[in-house]
Structure 1
Amino acid sequence: MKILIITQAVNSEDFVLGFFHRWIEEFAKHCEEVYVICLYKGAHQLPHNVHVYSLGKEKGDTSRFQYVVRFWSYIWKYRSQYDAVFVHMNPEYVVLGGLLWRVLHKRIGLWYVHKSVTLKLRLATLLADVVFTSVPQSINRKSKKIRSMGHGVDTSAFSRLSVPLFHPVTPRLVSVGRITPIKNLEIPIHALALLREKGIAATLDIIGSPAVPTDSAYEESLRVLINDKKLDASVSFVGSISNIDIPAVYAQYDLSINAAPTGGIDKVVLESMAAGVLPLVSNEAFRTYFGEHASNLIYKDQDPGDLANKIQRLLIRTDIPKLQQDLRDSAKQHADVTLLVPAIIKQLHDSDI
């Protein structure tokens, strides 16, 4: 198969989107040629059969009209070079190109993991042959076209590192991801305060950055909360880091906290599992991934007291190495990129979709 992939960024160093570089590498292993159209082109090192074309954001271009013109020119110019289209997370590209691809008999696949249902998503669902998502809770739509595929984490990048040593006396907590209200970062901060009141010398690092002004205002409110709780010496805002460095960074921590509500499968939790860093979440969608350990790792939504109690119970367990390995194995079994990409390609090949 020759495939056209459309994504926001091709940049292995991007904190949020850098993981997709590894997806492209995997597509290149299974496809004769891979053409990629991206909004932003940054650092990348891809196989010889991958061809990357940018809409120009990295050059400072901000004209949406220019983006659309370039997009149309690319999909038309290379129309004979690809058999199928895979659009990652941006349904507007399916809306823009879907009719042409239909006329040209190109199979169209959209990957979408978000609970918001927009007009663009509705139109894209009509035009696409198949809509991929991680789990049913990841997309707030009902359609026969939807396929739940798991996720695509480069678990090998994490498994190369030794499982981190566990520090029950001075536990190091981390939250990874964009700083935004839906992440509910005040919950782990309140939980940390409760732990320290009990004499547990825990610390919390928040890795990530705000993306829009409302996110920045939210970060400032968190700083005020930290000050009010007298946690300035215990909580650090690390900022964003290169995607390449994430496996090594995880190895510095004992527990990761993800306070996002029940919904999609957050990739950072899967990365934490692959790294052997025990995740605590309020998202019930992870119950399958955690298996027999779910009751110990899923806390009540919006309940810092329950989170603190779960952490405290983990600190006295004697089977932590087994728990770490079980979660590593689960991540590899359910969310490895080497399993996801061939499954996507098979769906795009399937004449019955």
Structure 2
Amino acid sequence: MNILIITQRVDINDDNLGFFHEWLEKFAKNSDKVFVVCLWKGDYKLPSNVEIFSMGKESGASKIIQFFRLQAYLFRRVKRCDGIFIHMSPIYAIGSFPMAKLFRKKMLMWYVHKSKNFKLWLAEKLVNKIYTASQESFLIKSRKVEVVGHGIDTDKFFPKKIDGSGKFKILFAGRISPIKDLKTLISAMGILSKEIGSGSFNLEIVGDAVDGEEQEYFNALMKIIKERKLSDCVSFSGGLRHDEMPSKYNNSDVLVNLSPTGGMDKAVLEAMSCGILVLAANETFKSILAQANYNSMFRFGDAEDFSRKIVGLMSISQEERDRIGVGLRSVMVKNHSLDNLIKRISEYFK
């Protein structure tokens, strides 16, 4: 089978989209040839049956040049593939439709986000199938939508406890963005500091501010930390490569996620695959956690409820944490593994 994939970025070192490199590795194992079109090409280490073509954003190509490069490449390669897979970019589904129609190729789009806009609405009309991770991660009603679970590389994200001593380690992983509700997280750390002392825990925030708005948000968070004298228990590590995250999860006691209900943040699932406790506000995770007989949710935006739940997790014995971790990983391997997802995508085009 030959497959053509369109994605935003191919860069193993990218702290946001570096995970897609793992997807391409898996596609290479399940395909004879993989043609990849990306907006931005960085560093990659892929098998010889993977061909990477960039629309040229990394070299400053304008949007009109990017468009014509995309069409030229599709004209040369679509006829040689069995289908087109679009990753998270409705605009590429729209741009690929004429060539897909011309050469009578099916288009499958992967989309996991709670946003709705005209581009997504139009892309839904043009593609043949849409795969998403949960009912909450694609909000346009459509018969084309199929919930298939997420794609976590459970071979890379597996339990390997590094340091089980010292302070209780709280980890947040994600963009420094208002939607992540990090102000509630910082407020909860202030509550914990007063109630149990800042010497008994530490919070590490892994992630970058990627634009001006997020940089302003980061500056506001730093001001709050300084005002509440939390610098000794709250730290920022910046963005990390995706291949650095397994050890980061495994060196933590709990991964926290404060986003509202919507699409599933991948960090929560990666932590679960590592057998690490998680605490989330997003109701989408409730049914997933229930499959492992684990209930660790808090009310969105409620710093006091969050801090109470953290205290409760701190009281759990290591033996109980290990038992919970086995259950969490089992759910990931069964229902959200990258191997299963790639096989399902490949089978669609056969």
User: Normalization by structure 2: what TM-score?
Assistant: 0.95
Aligned twin of 1:32: 32
C-alpha distance in 2, partners of 1:191/1:244?
Answer: 29
Aligned CA distance change for structure 1 residues 295 and 49 (closer, same or farther; 3 Å): closer
Answer yes or no: is 1:181 the counterpart of 2:174: no
> Are the aligned partners of 2:188 and 2:304 in contact in 1 as well (CA < 8 Å)?
yes
Q: Which stretch shows the higher mean deviation, 98-107 or 176-185?
A: 98-107
1:121 equivalent in structure 2: 120
Query: Taking structure 1 as reference, are residues 206 and 62 closer, same or farther at Cα in structure 2, changes over 3 Å only?
Result: farther
Provide the rounded CA distance (Å) in 2 between the counterparts of 1:91 and 1:294: 36
Aligned residue in 2 for 1:211: 210
Q: Describe the shift of the 1:79–1:344 C-alpha distance in structure 2 as closer, same or farther (beyond 3 A).
A: closer
Identity %: 34
CA contact (8 A) 2:161 2:251 kept: no
In 1, distance between residues paired with 2:348 and 2:77? 22
Cα 1:67/1:148, change in 2 over 3 Å = same
Distance 2:322 2:293 in 1: 16
How much does 1:297 deviate?
Answer: 1.2
Partner of residue 324, structure 1:
325
After superposition, the C-alpha distances for 1:142-162 in whole angstroms (9 at most, x for unaligned) are 000011111111111122x52
| Cα deviation code 1:194-251 (max 9, x no counterpart) | 1111124211111111111111111111111112221022111111111121112222
Cα separation, 2, equivalents of 1:296 and 1:230: 32
Cα distance in 2 between the residues matched to 1:28 and 1:95: 25
Cα distance in 2 for partners of 1:292, 1:84 equals 34
1:102 is paired with a residue of what secondary structure? helix
Q: Deviations over 1:42-64 (max 9, x none)?
A: 121111211111111222x1411
How many aligned residue pairs are there?
346
**Distance (Å, rounded) in 2 between the aligned partners of 1:338 and 1:163:** 24
Structure 1 unaligned blocks of 5 or more: none
Question: Could you say what secondary structure the match of 2:94 adopts?
Answer: helix
Contact 1:99 1:127 in 2 (8 A): no
1:79 Cα offset (Å):
2.6
One-letter amino acid of the counterpart of residue 31, structure 1: S
The Cα shift of 1:272 comes to 0.9
Residues 135 and 148 of structure 1 are in contact (CA less than 8 Å); yes or no, is this contact kept in structure 2?
A: yes
Match of 2:222 in 1: 223
1:265-296 CA deviation, whole Å, 9 max, x = no partner? 11110111112221110011112221266764
Aligned to 1:246: 245
What letter corresponds to residue 32 of structure 1 in structure 2? D
Is 1:54 equivalent to 2:54 in the alignment? yes
How many Å separate the matches in 2 of 1:238 and 1:190? 19
* CA distance, structure 1, for counterparts of residue 217 and residue 185 of structure 2: 15
Structure 2 CA distance for aligned equivalents of residues 285 and 163 of structure 1: 27
TM-score, with length taken from structure 1: 0.94
Q: Structure 2 CA distance, aligned partners of 1:32 and 1:158?
A: 27
Q: Report the more deviating stretch, 41-50 or 125-134.
A: 41-50
5 Å-filtered alignment, 1:87-98, equals: 87-98=86-97
How far apart are the structure 2 equivalents of 1:310 and 1:36?
A: 44
Deviation at 1:166, TM superposition (A): 4.4
1:47 aligned partner, one-letter code: P
CA distance in structure 2 between the partners assigned to 1:136 and 1:344 by the alignment: 18
Aligned match of 1:100: 99
Contact 1:164 1:276 in 2 (8 A): no
User: Over residues 3-42 of structure 1, what are the superposed CA-to-partner deviations in whole Å (9 max), with x where a residue is unaligned?
Assistant: 1000011111111101111111111111221100011111
The 5 Å alignment of 1:190-205 reads 190-200=187-197, 201-205=200-204
Give the 5 Å matches for 1:228-307: 228-291=227-290, 296-307=295-306
Moved over 6 A (4+): none
Q: Check the 8 A contact 1:164/1:254 in 2, yes or no.
A: no
- Secondary structure of 1:197's counterpart equals helix
Query: What code does the residue aligned with 1:64 have?
Result: K
Closer, same or farther in 2 for the Cα pair 1:166/1:334, shift >3 Å?
farther
Amino acid at match of 1:195: L
Quote the Cα distance in structure 1 between the aligned partners of 2:177 and 2:250. 24
Distance 1:103 1:292 in 2: 45
Supply the distance in 1 between the matched residues of 2:105 and 2:294 (Cα, whole angstroms): 45
Contact 2:12 2:19 (C-alpha < 8 Å) held by counterparts: yes
How has the CA–CA distance of structure 1 residues 293 and 300 changed in structure 2, closer, same or farther, with 3 Å as cutoff?
farther
Q: Secondary structure at the match of 1:13?
A: coil
Identify the residue that residue 69 of structure 2 maps to in structure 1: 70
Q: How does 1:330-349 map to 2 (within 5 A)?
A: 330-349=331-350
Counterpart for residue 2 of structure 1: 2
State the one-letter code of the partner of 1:323. Answer: I
